[in-house]
Structure 1
Amino acid sequence: MFSKLLVWFLLAIYAASKVDGGDFIYNGFRGANLSLDGSAEITTDGLLLLANSIQQKKGHAFHPIPLNFKPSQGKTQSFSTNFVFAIVPKYQEVRSYGTAFVISPSKEFPGSEVGEYMSIFNPKTIGNSSNHIAAIEFDTYRNPEFGDIDDNHVGIDINGLNSNSSAPAAYFSNMSGGFKNLSLISGELMHVWVEYNGLQNLLNVTLFPIHLPKPDLPLLSMRVDLSPIVLEDMYIGFASSTKTVPSSTYILGWSFKMNGQAQVLDPRHLPKLPRIGPKKKSKLLTIGLPVIVIFFTLTAISAIGLIVRSKIKFADVLEDWEREYGPHRFSYKSLFMATKGFRNKELLGVGGFGRVYRGILSASKMEVAVKRVSHESRQGMREFISEIVSLGRLRHRNLVRLLGYCRRKRELLLVYDFMPNGSLDKFLFNHPNSMLSWSRRFRIIKGIASGLLYLHEEWEQVVLHRDIKASNVLLDSEMNGRLGDFGLARLYDHGTDPQTTHMVGTLGYLAPEMTKTGKATTSTDVYAFGAFMLEVACGRRPIDPRSSADEGILVEWVWECLRRGRILAAADPKLGHDYEVEEMELVLKLGLLCSHPLSAARPSMRQVMQFLDRDAPLPELLSDGLGAAILAVGGYKGFDDLRLSYPSYLEQGFANTSSVQESVLTGGR
């Protein structure tokens, strides 16, 4: 009785073990109950090592309990399995043999051979229907005798190694919609699904990289009824072998389920492959670190180069004696940045002494005009800069303020208040569609006269401008005239004589006596102001080589109009009759008086202001001695005629200007 109970108990345990064995999962094999032989082993890291690169022999790893594939009616039931494996060759460029998932009536294969027989068959058993073996091979060696398509393929094998269906190792890309090749001996982890539908007799094999989701299409799909091949109780497992070329085959995880989908392996829970060969050096150390060092070295060198270049580029000429002028001294860098590198788009104009640029000072956001003047280092520069700084203290509503200066190499940069409407000469000659009314012109003339009176008599020193002309009269936002460009200005104390010895200025505005003495005085400024008044009233330049001989010199032509009793004929024709007659006559006659060839006949700027304000009557020009003498000869056709008719006037230094070659004369102090 006891023996019968023991038999029934053992049968029950056996039956239960068969049922439990139909559904399992191994996320790593540490502590797993597997049947191992040959070179197969479970490493301390939980990896299933089927064949290693040292021992050239076969290896098998099987589930220890057979599974019931035919519970009823002799029909093989559905099943699915998925596993992760890697084949790591000892030499990357040399092919070895692969591995296979096997369904077999036995977990032992006596007489099987390694190498091309996958440690499952031998020359006598291969191809026999009595084997009852189904396998999925992952072959990494081409054996022509078995009809292999290449040395990197997946095949479905029945009772042998001549694959019933095979394809190059690849996976279907859900993104691109096509198959992408895989290398079975790359050492990379591969994920495999083997699924059999017993109702449809359909066997699918899907291969893909472990980091991707399962593809929508399998690599192999074969119609096959496994019922004649698979017996009732079968073992499942893996077989692998090495022979001539060593390699290591690892299984990292495995799950299986009968009549359903096997549990999905989670890559995060699988063990790691061991390091093969010498430890790889970090790319950060081998590549990144040298690149970083080189990068920072080059960056440092570039930075130093830029600093040195910047210092050279923005280097100023600064001597010890200039430190006392700190508030009036601009750095070259600040002016370079203000004018955007002296770009042509910021250019306001070009004169005889240099170019003028618009700029915005970064610190104060103040608009300025920067004039670049070439200069040579010479004796007297200290006095010259001292005068510039002194001029910076001038304050008058009709003067453009000189803010300061900068010296760099052979350049002198003068910084002025910015006048948004530009210079007066542009409105007189370059804006045909923007005619300047007489009332504005008269107000500008009075404003410049007031500014000159301040320079000559009302400031702490006498200031000689030495370059009064329409292009140096700038217009502010309200179209008020302001005398600017003090680059040629000179200062001297009241009651003393100026020390200038070289003739500077612009032809047409130069007093006749300057050609002999080269000496600038307040009277020579008055002469230039007279030419300026005629220029504004007549809308003509003081010297115009393009005009006829009778009209080429403006002063002569206006004198001729006065002699004929038609002084208003000299008025700017663009004005028509839109002007005050008395004001026009006053300006024309006062312009002739101020530009009188004899300096003694010219008024002072205080007298000029009295005439313009109608506080004093204007002298009758025709009763003037020189005026009567000029008219007595019936007029003259240029200064050459005057020189021939009245040689005594040469003693006054009357210039020969019949040949105009330059618009600007410059010189030293």
Structure 2
Amino acid sequence: MGASSRAFFLLTILSLIHVSLAQDQNQFIYNGFQGANLHLDGAAKILPSGLLELTNTSKQIKGHAFYQIPISFNRSSSISIPFPSFSTNLAFAIVPELPNLSGHGLAFIISPTMDFSQAVGGQYLGLFNISNNGLPTNHVLAIELDTILNPEFADINNNHVGIDVNSLKSVDSAPVSYFSSEEGKNISLRLLNGDPMQLWVDYDAPREVLNVTVAPLRRLKPNRPLLSTPVDLSQFLLENMYVGFSSATGPVASDHYVLGWSFNSSGPAQNLEISKLPPLPPKRKTSQKPSNVIIILPIAAIVFLIMVIGAVYFVRRKKYAEVREEWETEYDPQRFSYKDLYIATKGFKEKELLGAGGFGKVYKGTLPASDVQIAVKRISHDSHQGMKEFVAEIASMRRLRHRNLVQLLGYCRRKGELLLVYDYMPNGSLDKFLFSNRTPTLSWFHRFRVLKDVASALLYLHEEWEQVVLHRDVKSSNVLLDADLSGRLGDFGLARLYDHGTNPQTTRVVGTVGYLAPELSKTGRATTDTDVFAFGVFMLEMACGRRPMDLQGLPEEVSMVDWVMGYWRCGAILDVIDPKLEGTYLVEEMELVLKLGLLCAHPMPAMRPKMRQVMQYLDGHVSLPEIQDGGTVFTSTFAPSNGASDFVMSFPSLSGKCSANLLSSNESIFHTGR
């Protein structure tokens, strides 16, 4: 054999070996993950039993697991090798930390990279962030198993499977169910039931159809998929991609497990061997220490002991006594026991006190069964009137889900008080960062971000949830800061709900002086406009670093809105800025916040913007109307009207350049059109 022949033979053998290795690398099966060749990051880890745990019951975390060898997918550059059909089969389980409350879910993903360090958790599932979600350069396919309804991504419900291409807004989705050939219909499944399930993802390349199927763990693969979606993946996937999983938790957490996984890049994936899959950990239960009484005393001592125990029992029963009526049965999942809350807060000790206001005190606590940190607000109530409706609204508001809302977890009733249980925010309320000398000053960067956070939350409450939610007490002390100093609107003790397209029926004036819209004193009826007014005051509060009402100040300075309005009308609006922010803010942002705050706090409800407009202004998508020379008029905002005189104030004690221009601006503000 000549040298050239030997070289050709050697190349042929090496090529065959390479093809064989590629085939092995492009298909695999794991019945449990002990010794698996996986790349893990975040909270993901392999447990001794062989379970792959993507996230645990920690909050606001993410976890990823990838097969380390890239898979050859898009071969469209080769005429002879078409884009492949591929298939995967996995067994998974989602075990919630609390009944009916969970983290955000998990996803099977195909990605050009294993680096998701810039992705965020929560509703983004550890896949994207606010800036790259939806970009065509992502080249990511995800099959999401989602347990939270996120309106911003147009989710259909809080229990669905979705097909995501480069974005968390699914191209197709469906409530979780499987087809039973025996019954001839789809049977619903609940992702949060804590039981293992199987997921099949099959791509038919010649037909350009992606099929997704779900079923309980021990069921055979149904003969009808849950989703059968036309999509040409060769337009999205690159030549070499990684396959794996991503998962995330939010304000409430879940264990996200994968029990087994098979994959084939060029045909049907192997079926998992159910008997070889690792078991799930035992479900968490409240620990109870059994009483171990050893009878060694004389009869008289036993009788005495029984009497003591009986006395203690009745004392403890009275100590932990709750108010519970028949109509509350349907709200049992939302109800906490007073005993658990008492233990969690160490008996509502003063050292656990987080804050106090006109409507009650708030305590920090840790639930004894799960180590979940909570905040408990105690509200006095002396009447049963309206309590059934109030508890029904609490149960509804417990279903609110938004990244900028403090999660309301449930309630408890005891004697003359109502206890509301919230998610705990480690940095406490915003007002201490604005007004306490013991807390570092909050930078303008963080203040502006918090304003947008609260505006986003109010937009969700007013327009994006299934009902309209009136908060009725928007103020800095009800805005809490999480670990990242992001703002979350909390305290729904005064909130009310009504259906979209109807009028609210509230007629009792509630809220905080300084934040109350003027029309409340006439009608007593709270609306989305009164929430907007309070938000306007809140904006001015953030920019000025002073409270809405200053009873110790000069007469013209008692109301912060009037005070800022006076400076604005004479062209010196930047003179009201919090001195602690000197030199650290962007002038354009500061002017926007001050002027938009005044616009939201307009005395005429019809002149106030809706929260969707407020978000557009804050995001820079829409510009506020220009101010004419002299700083007196928003040309398209404060137009002439019959009620304009309500907004005209006099400020005799303003000093400096402001007082020089004030009289002339007073005359023209509503009449010149300048």
Q: Using structure 1 for the length normalisation, give the TM-score.
A: 0.51
Task: Find out whether 1:296 has 2:302 as its counterpart.
Answer: yes
Q: 2:365 is paired with a residue of what secondary structure?
A: strand
Aligned mates of 1:434, 1:357 — CA distance in 2: 23
The alpha carbon displacement at 1:634 in A equals 5.0
The alpha carbon displacement at 1:637 in A equals 8.5
Out of 442, 445, 451, the residue aligned to residue 445 of structure 1 is 451
Q: Give the AA of the match of 2:504.
A: P
The answer for the alignment partner of 2:340 in structure 1 is: 334
Q: Contact conserved, 1:370 with 1:416, CA < 8 A, in 2?
A: yes
The alpha carbon displacement at 1:306 in A equals 1.0
Aligned mates of 2:650, 2:380 — CA distance in 1: 46
Q: Give the AA of the match of 2:311.
A: G
Aligned mates of 1:466, 1:514 — CA distance in 2: 11
CA distance change for structure 1 residues 625 and 413 in 2, over 3 Å: closer, same or farther?
Answer: same
Q: Give the AA of the match of 2:390.
A: F
User: Deviations along 1:202-228, whole A, 9 cap, x unmatched?
Assistant: xxxxxxxxxxxxxxxxxxxxxxxxxxx
Task: Find out whether 1:542 has 2:548 as its counterpart.
Answer: yes
Aligned residues: 353
CA distance change for structure 1 residues 632 and 295 in 2, over 3 Å: closer, same or farther?
Answer: closer
Aligned mates of 1:316, 1:390 — CA distance in 2: 22
The answer for the alignment partner of 2:232 in structure 1 is: none
The answer for the alignment partner of 1:581 in structure 2 is: 587
The alpha carbon displacement at 1:307 in A equals 1.1
The answer for the alignment partner of 2:402 in structure 1 is: 396
Q: Contact conserved, 2:353 with 2:362, CA < 8 A, in 1?
A: yes
Q: Contact conserved, 2:432 with 2:439, CA < 8 A, in 1?
A: no
Out of 560, 567, 577, the residue aligned to residue 573 of structure 2 is 567
Task: Find out whether 1:310 has 2:329 as its counterpart.
Answer: no
CA distance change for structure 1 residues 375 and 508 in 2, over 3 Å: closer, same or farther?
Answer: same
The alpha carbon displacement at 1:552 in A equals 1.7
Task: Find out whether 1:485 has 2:499 as its counterpart.
Answer: no
Task: Find out whether 1:625 has 2:631 as its counterpart.
Answer: no
Task: Find out whether 1:529 has 2:535 as its counterpart.
Answer: yes
The alpha carbon displacement at 1:630 in A equals 7.0
Q: Over aligned residues, Cα RMSD in angstroms? A: 2.4
Aligned mates of 1:557, 1:625 — CA distance in 2: 21
Q: 2:420 is paired with a residue of what secondary structure?
A: strand
Aligned mates of 1:433, 1:380 — CA distance in 2: 40
Q: Contact conserved, 1:630 with 1:636, CA < 8 A, in 2?
A: no
CA distance change for structure 1 residues 410 and 606 in 2, over 3 Å: closer, same or farther?
Answer: same
CA distance change for structure 1 residues 524 and 586 in 2, over 3 Å: closer, same or farther?
Answer: same
User: Deviations along 1:149-168, whole A, 9 cap, x unmatched?
Assistant: xxxxxxxxxxxxxxxxxxxx
Aligned mates of 1:354, 1:487 — CA distance in 2: 10
Aligned mates of 2:481, 2:404 — CA distance in 1: 10
Aligned mates of 2:504, 2:376 — CA distance in 1: 28
Q: Contact conserved, 2:412 with 2:418, CA < 8 A, in 1?
A: yes
Out of 367, 373, 393, the residue aligned to residue 373 of structure 2 is 367
Aligned mates of 1:427, 1:626 — CA distance in 2: 39
User: Deviations along 1:542-585, whole A, 9 cap, x unmatched?
Assistant: 00111222222100111111112111111111111210100000
- Structure 1: runs of 5 or more not aligned: 1-288, 639-644, 650-669
Task: Find out whether 1:596 has 2:586 as its counterpart.
Answer: no
Q: Give the AA of the match of 1:625.
A: A
User: Deviations along 1:395-454, whole A, 9 cap, x unmatched?
Assistant: 001000000000011110000000011000000001356111000000000000000000
Task: Find out whether 1:510 has 2:516 as its counterpart.
Answer: yes
The alpha carbon displacement at 1:377 in A equals 2.6
Aligned mates of 1:391, 1:634 — CA distance in 2: 43
Aligned mates of 2:649, 2:370 — CA distance in 1: 62
Q: Give the AA of the match of 2:344.
A: A
Percent of aligned positions with the same letter in both sequences? 60
Aligned mates of 1:632, 1:353 — CA distance in 2: 34
Q: Contact conserved, 2:556 with 2:651, CA < 8 A, in 1?
A: no
The answer for the alignment partner of 1:500 in structure 2 is: 506
The answer for the alignment partner of 1:425 in structure 2 is: 431
The answer for the alignment partner of 1:558 in structure 2 is: 564
Counting only pairs closer than 5 Å after superposition, residues 436-475 of structure 1 correspond to structure 2 as 436-475=442-481
The alpha carbon displacement at 1:622 in A equals 3.9
The answer for the alignment partner of 1:346 in structure 2 is: 352
Q: Contact conserved, 1:359 with 1:367, CA < 8 A, in 2?
A: yes
Aligned mates of 1:549, 1:612 — CA distance in 2: 32
Q: 2:442 is paired with a residue of what secondary structure?
A: coil
The alpha carbon displacement at 1:314 in A equals 0.7
Mean CA deviation greater in 507-516 or 317-326: 317-326
CA distance change for structure 1 residues 357 and 634 in 2, over 3 Å: closer, same or farther?
Answer: closer
Q: Contact conserved, 2:537 with 2:597, CA < 8 A, in 1?
A: yes
Q: Using structure 2 for the length normalisation, give the TM-score.
A: 0.50
Q: 2:555 is paired with a residue of what secondary structure?
A: coil
Aligned mates of 2:646, 2:499 — CA distance in 1: 37
Q: Give the AA of the match of 1:447.
A: D
Q: 2:575 is paired with a residue of what secondary structure?
A: helix
Task: Find out whether 1:356 has 2:362 as its counterpart.
Answer: yes
Q: Give the AA of the match of 2:621.
A: D
Aligned mates of 1:630, 1:331 — CA distance in 2: 51
Q: Contact conserved, 1:563 with 1:631, CA < 8 A, in 2?
A: no
Out of 391, 396, 411, the residue aligned to residue 417 of structure 2 is 411
Q: 2:384 is paired with a residue of what secondary structure?
A: coil
The answer for the alignment partner of 1:197 in structure 2 is: none
User: Deviations along 1:71-112, whole A, 9 cap, x unmatched?
Assistant: xxxxxxxxxxxxxxxxxxxxxxxxxxxxxxxxxxxxxxxxxx
Q: Contact conserved, 2:430 with 2:477, CA < 8 A, in 1?
A: yes
Q: Give the AA of the match of 2:367.
A: L
Out of 321, 327, 337, the residue aligned to residue 321 of structure 1 is 327
User: Deviations along 1:20-74, whole A, 9 cap, x unmatched?
Assistant: xxxxxxxxxxxxxxxxxxxxxxxxxxxxxxxxxxxxxxxxxxxxxxxxxxxxxxx
Q: 1:529 is paired with a residue of what secondary structure?
A: helix
Q: Give the AA of the match of 1:505.
A: G
User: Deviations along 1:308-330, whole A, 9 cap, x unmatched?
Assistant: 11111111111111111111000
Counting only pairs closer than 5 Å after superposition, residues 50-449 of structure 1 correspond to structure 2 as 292-431=298-437, 434-449=440-455
Aligned mates of 2:428, 2:301 — CA distance in 1: 50
Aligned mates of 1:513, 1:433 — CA distance in 2: 36
The alpha carbon displacement at 1:626 in A equals 6.3
Out of 510, 517, 520, the residue aligned to residue 526 of structure 2 is 520
Q: Contact conserved, 1:404 with 1:415, CA < 8 A, in 2?
A: yes
CA distance change for structure 1 residues 626 and 437 in 2, over 3 Å: closer, same or farther?
Answer: farther
User: Deviations along 1:491-511, whole A, 9 cap, x unmatched?
Assistant: 000000000010000000000
Aligned mates of 2:357, 2:472 — CA distance in 1: 15
Deviation >4 Å, runs of 4+? 626-638
Aligned mates of 2:640, 2:425 — CA distance in 1: 40
Aligned mates of 2:426, 2:296 — CA distance in 1: 57
Q: 1:625 is paired with a residue of what secondary structure?
A: coil
Aligned mates of 1:593, 1:543 — CA distance in 2: 18
The alpha carbon displacement at 1:483 in A equals 0.3
Aligned mates of 2:392, 2:647 — CA distance in 1: 47
CA distance change for structure 1 residues 446 and 479 in 2, over 3 Å: closer, same or farther?
Answer: same
CA distance change for structure 1 residues 637 and 510 in 2, over 3 Å: closer, same or farther?
Answer: farther
CA distance change for structure 1 residues 311 and 328 in 2, over 3 Å: closer, same or farther?
Answer: same
Q: Give the AA of the match of 1:568.
A: L
Aligned mates of 1:382, 1:356 — CA distance in 2: 23
Q: Give the AA of the match of 2:375.
A: A
Q: 1:445 is paired with a residue of what secondary structure?
A: helix
